[in-house]
Amino acid sequence: MADQAVRPEVPAAEDAGRLDPSRIGRVVALVTALVLYSEIAPMQLAAVSSILPKLATSFPGAGAGITWGSGVVGLAGGASIALIGKLGDKFGKKNVTLACGLLFLIGALLCLFTSNWALFLVGRALAGASMGMTALEYGLVRDLLPRKWIPVSVGILGTGFGIGGVVTPIIVGALTAHHSWRSVFWFLVIYTVVTTPIVMACVPESPLRLKSKLDIVGGVLFGVSIGGVLVYISEGPSWGWTNMGCLAYLIAGVVLFAAWIGWELRTPEPMMNLKLLAAPKVSALMGIALLITTTLTAVSTMIFYMFETPKASVLEGGIIAQAAAQHHVAPALVAKAMTFRGDISYANGMSILSIALHITLWTALFMMIFGVIGGFVCRRVGCRVPLIIAGAALVVGTGLWVFWHSTWQEQLFIGILYGLCGGFYYAGNPNLLMDTIPAGVQGVGAGMLAVWGAIGTSIATAVFTAVASAHPFQIVANDLGHMVVTNVPQVYTNTGYSWAYVATGVVPGLLALLLAVALRTGRTPARGGAAAS
């Protein structure tokens, strides 16, 4: 399946660097170190998603594009992950993992100290390197752990110890309750500095190497093309779908994507092995990664937008008071000339800490528990069943959220299905990929899987922004007989969120379920990559 550009440099045995299964303490230390470091990616996504509404006050010029504070990570990650995977195969997965941590650290420091929106996005783009760390760590797990440990360890690695999903929202909530959003980046910096020496001490380097060259041109073409399409999707509602300035991004994106395909087919050592990707048993896994990651990211973003929105009475009262202060008149007079359009009955006015304690802490725990269970299911019956369950749980969960998302209790109980989907997906998809592709291209394969997951992250941001922005909560003011309608920034109607759950949840979930059912692989117990030998 792999072409000649992806052959091992030396005929080293696959098990050359594998740990002795009798040294349980050594194995546990390695898994613990990798999980702690892999938490950087979900941690920073969860942290920044929760503070997006707060960033708007510091970067007023960003407007609806404030969501790119999260989406640009997926875009940058999607453009670089495949290159990072090849770097890991060539120079060592541990070495490149630590280099990704350094890039993340630089990006976090830039976000911490800048007051310029463009530079903030540059910092977030550098953080996209963290998206490649997980792909490299899956490779380390496959290369170093005893075979019987691999399926369950993959499930643990995918869902973590709960730091990213459970602890981070609580820490972020506590920090933002007393400090600015910049304190969140201090936390991310400190965490990275503390966990880096643990990886250096507890994780050996994989002996497997691959002789290859980096496809820089392919990476640039891919990233810019996807970025153009996503800009069109996210900005279409505000710029106008048929506006030539907006259409130019779509056209450029499509043309560059076609150029990328042509380049990848002709270059001897492509960024992404399209022959490997074209195989149905591989492309199906990439499609599932794209679809499910889109939903998991979108739901995480929507939760904070919805529940941080002040209650209607508070929000409307604040707008009236602000208008009265600007015009130096009594609020009662402004209230007579101002009405509001749109249902925001979902709004709760909760703090980030309150959202964490009532919703995200528990949904993350559900995902973590089901990740471990999913690993055991993979080892016992195969990976196809967990992926089918993940797709079904996604469809049912997001379908219920279309109608019931106004209270934290609804969000929490339906969130059990969200956790079931995430846990079984993170256990099933990487394990099945390990058993599907040869050992010599594990870094490339894991990189491709992470690429499509990263693209899903950016698609979630773009589609949510497009759908929600089309349903704004509005101020209707009577200005001397003329009705002036103004959108309230970052506040969307209940209908907008319902359609967002359909667009980023039900539809991707159905497609992921169909792909999982159609899988011809994953019907035998997972073997930790042995099937790919």
Indicate the residue type of 373: I
CA distance 411 to 419: 12
Q: Which residue has the higher pLDDT, 402 or 42?
A: 402
**Residue 429 burial (CB count, 10 A):** 30
CB 505 within 8 A of CB 401: yes
Q: Burial letters for 258-276: b for 16+ Cβ neighbours within 10 Å, e otherwise?
A: ebbbebbeeeebbbbbebb
Q: Which residue has the higher pLDDT, 162 or 206?
A: 206
- Residue 165 to residues 38, 60, 84, 161, 288: CA-CA distances in angstroms? 12, 28, 25, 9, 21
CB 343 within 8 A of CB 495: yes
Tokens of 417: 């299905």
pLDDT score recorded for residue 165 = 61
pLDDT, tens digit (0-9, with 9 covering 90-100), for 304-354: 889 989 999 999 999 989 888 888 888 888 888 889 999 999 999 998 788
3-class secondary structure, 474: strand
pLDDT, tens digit (0-9, with 9 covering 90-100), for 108-123: 999 999 989 889 989 9
* Total residue length of the chain: 533
pLDDT, tens digit (0-9, with 9 covering 90-100), for 431-460: 898 888 776 566 667 767 777 877 787 788
pLDDT at 287 over 90: yes
- Average pLDDT value over all residues in the chain: 84
pLDDT, tens digit (0-9, with 9 covering 90-100), for 128-163: 877 778 778 878 888 888 877 888 787 777 666 456
- Residue 380 to residues 282, 476, 519: CA-CA distances in angstroms? 22, 60, 18
The pair phi, psi for residue 92, each rounded to 5°, is 110, 125
pLDDT at 61 over 90: no
Of 447, 441, 532, 446, the residue nearest 6 (C-alpha): 441
> What are the strands of the beta sheet with 338-341, ordered from one edge?
338-341, 472-479, 482-492
Confidence grade of residue 288 (pLDDT, cut at 50, 70, 90): very high
pTM of the model: 0.76
